[in-house]
Amino acid sequence: MNDKETVRPRIVILGGGYGGVSAAREMIRRGVHKQARITLVNDSNFHYLTTLMHYAILKPIDDEKVSIFLPEFLGSSIDFIRATVVRIDAPGNRVVIKIRENEGELEYDYLIVALGWEPDYYNIPGLKEHAFVLHDIQNAHEIHDHIEKAFASYDKDPSQTWIMHILIGGASYTGIEIAAEVADLVPVLARKYSIDPAAVKISMVGIFLPEFDNVLANHAMNYLRQRGIDVRAGTMIERVEAQEVKFQADDAMRPGLVIWAGGIRANDVAGRSGLECDKKGRVVVDELLRCTSHKNIFVIGDCARAVDNSGRPLAQTAQFAAGQGEWLARSMGKILSGQTPKAYAGRNLGMFLSVGRKAGLGVLYVGKHKFRFTGYIARLLKKGAGYRYLWSIGGVRLVVKKLLA
Ligand SMILES: Cc1cc2nc3c(=O)[nH]c(=O)nc-3n(C[C@H](O)[C@H](O)[C@H](O)COP(=O)(O)OP(=O)(O)OC[C@H]3O[C@@H](n4cnc5c(N)ncnc54)[C@H](O)[C@@H]3O)c2cc1C
């Protein structure tokens, strides 16, 4: 290590998802890596494009299409460490990491926590044990395989009607995206196994599309019902057993597969490390996205409780995670020189979701104007948002690479 090396402050980024990668790329773009030594820690070698993950339920997608190989992507400007973050020792300015079975420590001057989300099971008995969750590409493939196995078993023994019943717990945007992909998969497998698609029942329970207004929520509900999905808005799961799901309203059903998309909470590393969190595990941050107790710890994305100008927590979306990462990278020059940057102000540009392969819905905000979109155009806009993100982190080269993958 030379003299110059010892005086460079150390920035450690925890998490290589939308927030962490956006921060890292923008810092490279702005030359922050020349002023500071930057390290990014992630538990896999890949940044998975979670917003596209549900597409793999219908058709297995090549990993290359929905993931970015971090060591190559970050290049030599940033040190990449594949490790699991165990805890943050905030008073000691250290992070405890685990590489395979070995624990080690990383020291930092500035820490950026971008560890994302985990499912929230709300302590519903049996849910964690019996439900699938769409967290990564592997989960999408498992859901696909499970449904295909159900068709194969039903083909051999059609008396097992329950095996063809799929229950999606959670009716927010992820639940709807998942339900619609499953509905698109049914005719494909029905053809393959010569089974009447009517043998399959897809049910969906939970609070229906709280992210959108009534106009879009009603549109989505009608569309899903036309697709044959049994939408039970407001029905809540009470407990899940191996052969039965019980609802709070005292009725029950026997599905062959339960997929849980009913809620998320922040990754628990920050909470376990003693940083101040809200009841969803999100770290409380100030207007510079710093945690309340340690001003050299910044928290972004799904594990931060950043608020809008009326004090409401911002949605846990890729859009905000990437925006916060970029904002922090842009502010890092000032932070490193001891100045105070302008406060972070999250701007909601809108949100789109796909509803199967042919439809979508969403909303776009332009200034004070709100534009609603439905149908195929909305689906294209969701795709466009994905490519816009790729463009923001990797320019035209990355967009073309993913288009050709
Ligand atoms: C099916 C689905 C569809 C979605 N669609 C949209 C959409 O259309 N638009 C939108 O804006 N948002 C969407 N979202 C939400 C979006 O994916 C999240 O808000 C976004 O991923 C949050 O980014 P992040 O950087 O905070 O976390 P993430 O992108 O989850 O990144 C966290 C990273 O930290 C790593 N990590 C976690 N724990 C550890 C540990 N202990 N040690 C080391 N590394 C760790 C993870 O592997 C991951 O790489 C969707 C989510 C899902 C599940």
Examine the domain organization and report whether 222 and 286 are in the same domain: no
Tell the residue nearest (CA) to atom 4 of ligand 1. Answer: 51
94-99 β-sheet, strand order: 84-89, 94-99, 102-107
**Count of domains for the chain:** 3
Ligand 1: residue of 97, 302, 361, 393 to mutate (most ligand atoms within 8 A of CB) is 302
Examine the domain organization and report whether 114 and 180 are in the same domain: no
- Domain end, chosen from 241, 261, 281, is at 261
Decide: 143 in ligand 1 pocket, CB within 6 A: no
Tell the residue nearest (CA) to atom 35 of ligand 1. Answer: 15
Examine the domain organization and report whether 214 and 270 are in the same domain: no
Examine the domain organization and report whether 221 and 342 are in the same domain: no
Examine the domain organization and report whether 131 and 197 are in the same domain: yes
- Domain end, chosen from 240, 261, 282, is at 261
Q: Residue 240 has what pLDDT?
A: 98
Examine the domain organization and report whether 257 and 135 are in the same domain: yes
Examine the domain organization and report whether 68 and 144 are in the same domain: no
List, in sequence order, every residue forming a beta bridge with 111; answer none if it has no partner.
12, 297
Cα separation of 244 and 164, whole Å? Answer: 14
CATH of the domain at 234: 3.50.50.60
Decide: 117 in ligand 1 pocket, CB within 6 A: yes
Examine the domain organization and report whether 247 and 320 are in the same domain: no
Cα separation of 293 and 275, whole Å? Answer: 7
Q: Residue 341 has what pLDDT?
A: 96
Torsion angle of the four alpha carbons 276, 278, 280, 285, in this order, in degrees rounded to the nearest 10: -70
Examine the domain organization and report whether 134 and 250 are in the same domain: yes
Q: Comparing C-alpha atoms, which of 36, 44, 30 is closest to residue 115?
A: 44
Decide: 243 in ligand 1 pocket, CB within 6 A: no
Q: Is 62 left (phi over 0), alpha (psi -120 to 50) or beta?
A: beta
For the chain, which residues score pLDDT lower than 70?
A: 1-6
Q: Comparing C-alpha atoms, which of 219, 224, 183 is closest to residue 201?
A: 183
CATH of the domain at 297: 3.50.50.100
Examine the domain organization and report whether 109 and 208 are in the same domain: no
Decide: 136 in ligand 1 pocket, CB within 6 A: no
Decide: 96 in ligand 1 pocket, CB within 6 A: no
Examine the domain organization and report whether 343 and 353 are in the same domain: no
Examine the domain organization and report whether 11 and 81 are in the same domain: yes
Tell the residue nearest (CA) to atom 41 of ligand 1. Answer: 85
Decide: 354 in ligand 1 pocket, CB within 6 A: no
Given the CA of residue 264, which atom of ligand 1 is nearest to it?
53
Q: Residue 3 has what pLDDT?
A: 47
- Domain end, chosen from 261, 296, 326, is at 261
Instruction: List phi, psi (to 5°) of 98.
Output: -125, 125
Tell the residue nearest (CA) to atom 8 of ligand 1. Answer: 51
Q: Range of 243's domain?
A: 127-261
Q: Residue 63 has what pLDDT?
A: 82
Question: Which one-letter DSSP state was computed for residue 342?
Answer: P
Q: Residue 6 has what pLDDT?
A: 58
Q: Residue 329 has what pLDDT?
A: 98
